[in-house]
Amino acid sequence: MASDQSQPPLIQITHVSRHYQAGDTVVKALDDVTLTINRGEFVAVMGQSGSGKSTLMNILGCLDTPTSGCFRVNGHNVADMTPDQLAALRLKTFGFVFQRYQLLAPLTARENVALPATYAHVPSEERLERAELLLDKLGLGERAGHKPGELSGGQQQRVSIARAMINGAEVILADEPTGALDSDSGKQVLALLKQLNEEGSTVILITHDAEVAKHADRQIEIRDGRIQADTAPAPTLDMPATTDAPTAFASVGLIESVVIALKALRFNWFRTALTLLGIIIGVGAVVAMMAIGEGGKQQVLNRIESMGTNLLLLRPGGGNTRSSGEMATLTVQDGEAVSRLPGVSYVAPERNSRATIRFGNRDYNGRIQGTTPDYIHVRDWGMARGVFFTQQDMDSMAPVIVIGQTVAEELFTNGEEPIGQYVFLKSAVYQVIGVLEAKGATSGGSDMDEMMLIPLSTGRVRVFGRDHLSTITIKVESTDQLDEVQASVERLMLQRHGREDFMVRNTASLIEAVGETQDTMTWLLGSVAAISLFVGGIGVMNIMLVSVSERRREIGLRMATGAKPGDILRQFNIEALVVCCFGGAVGLLLGVGVAWLLGQFNIAIAFSLLPPVLAFASAVLVGIVFGHAPARQASRLNPIDALAED
Ligand code: ADP
Ligand code: MG
């Protein structure tokens, strides 16, 4: 080395070997190579196929590391650098030109050229501008908006040279750049490399062709991994050089990553749509199922609440027998005794049955209930028209009936006035004296508005035949007395019957119990839906894995042009996340839409904030969790292998 040289040489490799283990044998692709390349040189590395040229280039370009020996760039030992520093070297110091161009098909020439600048944090507009200038300079200005498929081989190679230069590379590494070109295009490319060299770039041209090698100022011949011949190195140019150790670049910003992800997803839109489907269905199912479950719960609770609050229900049956409806233990006398307890405001003994009521030629099958005049007080129920029966009606066993809204609507369809009409019930005639206010709680078996009420005394003889009661409903003066009165009712009944052949329930505990059962249902539905979301997540992972293996070349290229493993990891993570967020959002809309539609068909629906938030959060989590394995696989890809594939 010349003594006046203050700067270390650009590239200095000493005793570098690269051995491959191929089965039992060791292939010495490079064998003890020592070589110095100075700034501003135009070097051709020449040799037959299999002589180790590409191996040398991969080591020079920091895509591969030597098995032994030392490689310095600007005086810094590459072995001491972190992977991120190596990425920075590939980004700023080296520019690759490949035999097969390695342009990304979905991107325009301009975007291909601009790609490496993404990793150098050049803002989008500036990098496209710079790309445009470079393409102009290489005579491709008019082709900037074309995709690689629309360009000739020579044009594509010039695009790839522009790409190698976008970050102001000091060294252009060209591996057989003319290998795939016809001789005219080849000459153009060589002339271009010569021009770049004259403008100050160091060019390392790799070729098997001695004719091509002649274009360089210095020829190094290699055979079987050893340097065979080397025309003397040119003295280093007196030009400023960066001799600081390379500093790693920060990762590509979030917005930039999302833009990259969106482009990739749009290019593979069909695959993206399939991936989305799993997430959309999963999130949609969670939202719709939870709305249905919640709706069912609200409905049942409304129905219970519409019976009235501060109520105690006294029913026949043991404390733990459920099917106790037919036990004949509860009597009218029990009701009278209970009504005398302190804290009790009203008591309504009830006896239920189902029966068909007839007016003219119209029938209605509903719930017939015998009770006392206090019933409407117990139930806080008002009259829509007419009156409720009185104690006199009770005493005289009057054949009168009070009907619910639904019954009235079903029987008196021609706008007849119900009050005063005679109806048939169990082959006896009753006069309608009142129509109850609508309770509104409609659905399933216990529509309160399908009720038909007759005096208990009348019904005992004519309808029910037997004496016992189905329920005694007790209204307590105030809610705080509920427990107290419940206890005294239990005491009294135990005293009267001598055994516990009854049970007392209060509506509060009923609401609680029903609410719990319904919650269980809701969560059951929700978890079935959540499983589908999980399956959707596996779908995301599956398709991302396919995507990674399909895009190996893209990943390899991004790494060769300066992307850090972390950038690749991030890119694929964000792709998965974008899919899941988008799928989640569409799924939310779908779920709400389906639930709303079901609501139109009289299925009870209730929306609450939690299920959609949970479902969306799960979708995002699915993206993070299931996107990670493919993303990690992508980031660990070896760019040499990826780029070597056809
Ligand atoms: P060239 O580019 O000059 O054609 P290469 O550098 O690609 O040669 O290969 C040099 C030698 O190393 C060849 O014998 C090749 O078979 C071998 N080689 C290259 N890559 C690998 C690898 N990944 N594993 C095993 N052997 C390899
Ligand atoms: Mg090769």
Question: How remote is the CA of residue 100 from the centroid of ligand 2, in Å?
Answer: 11
* Buried residues in 336-346 as b, exposed as e (16+ CB within 10 A): ebbbeeebbbb
The Cα 267–Cα 106 span in angstroms is: 7
Nearest CA to ligand 1 atom 26: 20
pLDDT-derived band of residue 4, with 50, 70 and 90 as boundaries?
Answer: very low
Q: What atom in ligand 1 is closest to the CA of residue 30?
A: 10
623 Cβ partners below 8 Å, 6+ apart? 537, 540, 576, 577, 578, 579, 580, 581
Q: Can you give the pLDDT at residue 243? A: 67
* Buried residues in 416-431 as b, exposed as e (16+ CB within 10 A): eebeebebebeeeebe
Give yes or no for residue 49 CB within 6 A of ligand 1.
yes
- pLDDT one-digit tens code per residue, 592-611: 999 999 989 888 888 888 88
The Cα 57–Cα 51 span in angstroms is: 12
Say which range, 325-329, 476-480, 489-493, 589-593, has the weakest mean pLDDT: 325-329
Give yes or no for residue 233 CB within 6 A of ligand 1.
no
What's the mean pLDDT in 540-551? 88
Best mutation site among 27, 99, 212, 640 for ligand 1, i.e. most ligand atoms within 8 A of its Cβ? 27
Question: How remote is the CA of residue 58 from the centroid of ligand 2, in Å?
Answer: 10
Best mutation site among 24, 26, 55 for ligand 1, i.e. most ligand atoms within 8 A of its Cβ? 55
29: which 2 tokens? 């692709």
Q: Can you give the pLDDT at residue 3? A: 41
Q: Can you give the pLDDT at residue 69? A: 94
Q: What is the share, in percent, of the chain residues with pLDDT greater than 90?
A: 47
- pLDDT one-digit tens code per residue, 498-522: 888 888 888 777 777 777 887 888 7
CA of residue 489 relative to chain centroid, distance? 55
Q: Is the pLDDT at 2 greater than 60, yes or no? A: no
pLDDT-derived band of residue 232, with 50, 70 and 90 as boundaries?
Answer: confident
Question: How remote is the CA of residue 643 from the centroid of ligand 1, in Å?
Answer: 14
Backbone angles phi, psi at 98, to 5 degrees: -105, 155
Q: Can you give the pLDDT at residue 57? A: 92
The Cα 368–Cα 375 span in angstroms is: 14
Q: Can you give the pLDDT at residue 241? A: 61
Q: Is the pLDDT at 160 greater than 50, yes or no? A: yes
Question: How remote is the CA of residue 55 from the centroid of ligand 1, in Å?
Answer: 6
For residue 452, which amino acid is it?
Answer: M
Say which range, 69-83, 107-121, 463-477, 482-496, has the weakest mean pLDDT: 463-477
Give yes or no for residue 25 CB within 6 A of ligand 1.
no
Angle between helices 83-92 and 552-560 (to 10 degrees): 80
Q: Is the pLDDT at 115 greater than 90, yes or no? A: yes
Q: Is the pLDDT at 180 greater than 90, yes or no? A: no
Q: Can you give the pLDDT at residue 592? A: 93
Q: Is the pLDDT at 442 greater than 60, yes or no? A: no
Q: Can you give the pLDDT at residue 446? A: 59
DSSP code, position 448: G
CB atoms within 10 A of CB 516: 11
Question: How remote is the CA of residue 54 from the centroid of ligand 2, in Å?
Answer: 4
Q: Which residues does residue 502 pair with via DSSP β-bridges, in sequence order?
A: 316
Q: Can you give the pLDDT at residue 53? A: 93
Q: 349's torsion region: left (phi>0), alpha (psi -120 to 50) or beta?
A: beta
As to burial, measured by CB atoms within 10 angstroms (0-12 exposed, 13-18 middle, 19+ buried), residue 323 is exposed
595: which 2 tokens? 């639930």
| N-terminal to C-terminal alpha carbon distance within the chain | 42
The Cα 414–Cα 25 span in angstroms is: 101
What's the mean pLDDT in 243-251? 78
What sign results for the dihedral spanned by CA atoms 114, 118, 124, 130?
A: negative
Q: Checking DSSP bridges between strand 422-425 and strand 202-207, what pairing results, if any?
A: unpaired
Q: Is the pLDDT at 573 greater than 80, yes or no? A: yes
Q: What atom in ligand 1 is closest to the CA of residue 52?
A: 6
Q: Can you give the pLDDT at residue 46? A: 95
| 8 A C-beta contact, residue 84 and residue 529 | no
Give yes or no for residue 21 CB within 6 A of ligand 1.
no
Q: Is the pLDDT at 8 greater than 50, yes or no? A: yes
As to burial, measured by CB atoms within 10 angstroms (0-12 exposed, 13-18 middle, 19+ buried), residue 239 is exposed
What's the mean pLDDT in 322-336? 71
**What beta strand segments (E) does 450-588 contain?**
451-455, 471-476, 502-506
The Cα 315–Cα 415 span in angstroms is: 39
Question: How remote is the CA of residue 597 from the centroid of ligand 1, in Å?
Answer: 64
Give yes or no for residue 609 CB within 6 A of ligand 1.
no
Q: Is the pLDDT at 319 greater than 60, yes or no? A: no
- pLDDT one-digit tens code per residue, 346-371: 999 999 888 899 998 889 998 899 99
pLDDT-derived band of residue 646, with 50, 70 and 90 as boundaries?
Answer: low
For residue 213, which amino acid is it?
Answer: A
* Buried residues in 117-155 as b, exposed as e (16+ CB within 10 A): bbbbebeeeebbebbbebbebbebeebbebbbeebebbb
Q: Can you give the pLDDT at residue 237? A: 61
Q: Give the H/E segment covering residue 364.
A: strand 362-371
- pLDDT one-digit tens code per residue, 259-272: 888 888 888 888 88
- pLDDT one-digit tens code per residue, 276-314: 888 899 889 888 988 888 888 887 777 777 666 788 889
Average pLDDT for the chain: 87
Q: Can you give the pLDDT at residue 106? A: 87
pLDDT-derived band of residue 396, with 50, 70 and 90 as boundaries?
Answer: very high
Give yes or no for residue 3 CB within 6 A of ligand 1.
no
Nearest CA to ligand 1 atom 21: 20
| 8 A C-beta contact, residue 547 and residue 576 | no
Give yes or no for residue 641 CB within 6 A of ligand 1.
no
Question: How remote is the CA of residue 227 from the centroid of ligand 2, in Å?
Answer: 16
DSSP code, position 401: E
Can you give the residue ranges of every domain in the chain?
260-302+513-644, 310-506
Question: How remote is the CA of residue 26 from the centroid of ligand 1, in Å?
Answer: 11
Q: What atom in ligand 1 is closest to the CA of residue 22?
A: 25
Of all ligands present, the nearest one to the C-alpha of 55 is: 1
Of all ligands present, the nearest one to the C-alpha of 49 is: 1
The Cα 186–Cα 70 span in angstroms is: 34
| 8 A C-beta contact, residue 216 and residue 206 | no
Question: How remote is the CA of residue 222 from the centroid of ligand 2, in Å?
Answer: 12
Q: Which residues does residue 351 pair with via DSSP β-bridges, in sequence order?
A: 370
Nearest CA to ligand 1 atom 11: 29
Q: Can you give the pLDDT at residue 528? A: 80
Give yes or no for residue 20 CB within 6 A of ligand 1.
yes
Question: How remote is the CA of residue 31 from the centroid of ligand 1, in Å?
Answer: 12
Concatenating the DSSP letter of every residue in 162-218 gives: HHHHTT--SEEEEESTTTTS-HHHHHHHHHHHHHHHHTT-EEEEEES-HHHHTTSSE
Q: Which of 437, 406, 408 is closest to 423 using CA atoms? A: 408
What's the mean pLDDT in 15-36? 92
Give yes or no for residue 27 CB within 6 A of ligand 1.
yes
As to burial, measured by CB atoms within 10 angstroms (0-12 exposed, 13-18 middle, 19+ buried), residue 381 is buried
Question: How remote is the CA of residue 17 from the centroid of ligand 1, in Å?
Answer: 13
Of all ligands present, the nearest one to the C-alpha of 175 is: 2
Question: How remote is the CA of residue 326 from the centroid of ligand 1, in Å?
Answer: 91
Helix or strand or coil: residue 179? coil
24: which 2 tokens? 């039992």
What's the mean pLDDT in 530-542? 86
CA Rg value for the chain: 43
Q: Which of 630, 303, 368, 349 is closest to 468 using CA atoms? A: 349
392 Cβ partners below 8 Å, 6+ apart? 398
Give yes or no for residue 99 CB within 6 A of ligand 1.
no
Best mutation site among 20, 45, 209 for ligand 1, i.e. most ligand atoms within 8 A of its Cβ? 20
Q: Checking DSSP bridges between strand 362-371 and strand 344-359, what pairing results, if any?
A: antiparallel
Of all ligands present, the nearest one to the C-alpha of 208 is: 1
What's the mean pLDDT in 463-476? 85
Q: Can you give the pLDDT at residue 323? A: 46
Say which range, 63-77, 229-243, 594-608, has the weakest mean pLDDT: 229-243
Q: Is the pLDDT at 324 greater than 50, yes or no? A: no
